[in-house]
Amino acid sequence: MTAQTIAVPPPARASGAGALQRLSTWLYRHPRLALAILLAPPLAWLGIVYLGSLLALLAQSFFYLDGFTGLIVREFTLRTYAELFTGSNLDIILRTTVMATVVTLACALIGFPIAYYMARYAGPRLKPLMYLGVMLPLWSSYLVRVYSWKLILAKEGIVTWIFAKLHLLWLLDAILSIPVIGGPSLSTAYLGTFLVFVYIWLPYMILPIEAAIERVPRSVIEASADLGAPPRSTFRHVVLPLAIPGVVAGSIFTFSLTLGDYIIPGIIGSSRPFIGQAVYSHQGTAGNIPLAAALSVVPIVIIAIYLRIAKRLGAFDAL
């Protein structure tokens, strides 16, 4: 609207500006209406497109698939949810949750020292470089990175080659022979899935931690030293508690992203399905939309619980 007014040639300008001014005054006198006009489009988006589809999904999960006809019966029932508690579905849920938890812990363990160094020690030249290093992988396609990891971890890939050159193949074989996490090669083992998950989501952990540590005032640390605390105590009792919200914020990203991903476990790993993959197979020709919907409610519930805990820990102060 403004653009139009500006484009109007000079003679018409006076009346145009007058109308605009009147409108502006009128809106000024009706602040609530102005607010409503401003907020209507985003609220409509949130309400209809976002929450609407979420509710549609939720509604589907209360229907069930008639085993005899293979048709969806649109009646309220909880039997689809009961199906979630069968062995193989529980396996899938457990498998995905454990993977998300372990990936999150590993990301925090690796990410914290990097973030700490970036925030406290990196000089004005090194710091932008480190930022770049953390962000750079995000500039290339997710799929390209996953497929290249498949090559890196392959039986005839570079990791195996390095182990062979170092005469450490026995070590790799020993690791791969561990039940559950092992497999014929790194790229067909849970271990490989785990490594790739950690690699892909690590930046989302480092950046919030870095932001949190950066916000710890230097004076607080100096005060701690002045009061006679050795560096170890300062770290434990001052820096760490103040940085924890950052860790929790980062963990929300890594945890929820791992929980929902269905591409990485499809390309790397032993083909044991994760939640996302199961959802993907149940919709489609199978037409078991209710079960697919019920399965996709599971991560929502897990994340909701997780967010509640995170909120208690003050994670949202660091976002």
Q: Between 128 and 184, whose beta carbon lies closer to other proteins?
A: 184
Instruction: Please give the residues from 123 up to 162 whose contact with other proteins meets the rule CB under 8 A.
Output: 150-151, 154-157
Contact of 265 with 277, CB cutoff 8 Å:
yes
The residues facing 73 across adjacent strands are 64
272 is a contact residue toward other proteins (CB under 8 A): yes
* DSSP string for residues in 36-94: HHHHHHHHHIIIIIIIHHHHHHHHHTTSEE-TTT-PEE-S--SHHHHHTTSHHHHHHHH
Contact of 243 with 212, CB cutoff 8 Å:
yes
| Options 4-12, 21-29, 54-62, 279-287: segment touching other proteins (CB under 8 A) | 279-287
| End-to-end C-alpha distance for the chain, whole angstroms | 35
Using H for helix, E for strand and C for coil, what is the string for 132-168? HHHHHHHHCCHHHHHHHHHHHHCCCCHHHHHHHHCCC
| Options 22-30, 56-64, 88-96, 121-129: segment touching other proteins (CB under 8 A) | 88-96
Contact of 84 with 298, CB cutoff 8 Å:
yes
Instruction: Please give the residues from 17 up to 76 whose contact with other proteins meets the rule CB under 8 A.
Output: 65, 67-70
Minimum CB–partner distance for residue 285 and other proteins (Å): 6
Give the residue, chosen from 18, 47, 113, 287, that forms a contact with other proteins under the rule CB under 8 A: 287
Minimum CB–partner distance for residue 186 and other proteins (Å): 10
Give the residue, chosen from 246, 250, 273, 299, that forms a contact with other proteins under the rule CB under 8 A: 273
Instruction: Please give the residues from 205 up to 264 whose contact with other proteins meets the rule CB under 8 A.
Output: none
Instruction: Tell me the C-alpha to C-alpha distance, in Å, between residue 301 and each of 57, 170, 256, 287, 307.
Output: 14, 43, 11, 24, 10
Q: Is residue 25 exposed (0-12), middle (13-18) or buried (19+ Cβ within 10 Å)?
A: exposed
Nearest to 209 by CA among 127, 119, 136, 102: 119
Q: Between 216 and 279, whose beta carbon lies closer to other proteins?
A: 279
Structure tokens at 315: 């994670």
| Options 29-37, 43-51, 74-82, 281-289: segment touching other proteins (CB under 8 A) | 281-289
Minimum CB–partner distance for residue 299 and other proteins (Å): 17
Structure tokens at 24: 């502006």
Give the residue, chosen from 111, 183, 203, 250, that forms a contact with other proteins under the rule CB under 8 A: 183
Minimum CB–partner distance for residue 177 and other proteins (Å): 11
Q: Between 20 and 267, whose beta carbon lies closer to other proteins?
A: 267
Positions touching other proteins (CB under 8 A) are 65, 67-70, 87-88, 91-92, 95, 150-151, 154-157, 183-185, 187-188, 266-267, 269-273, 278, 281-282, 284-288, 291
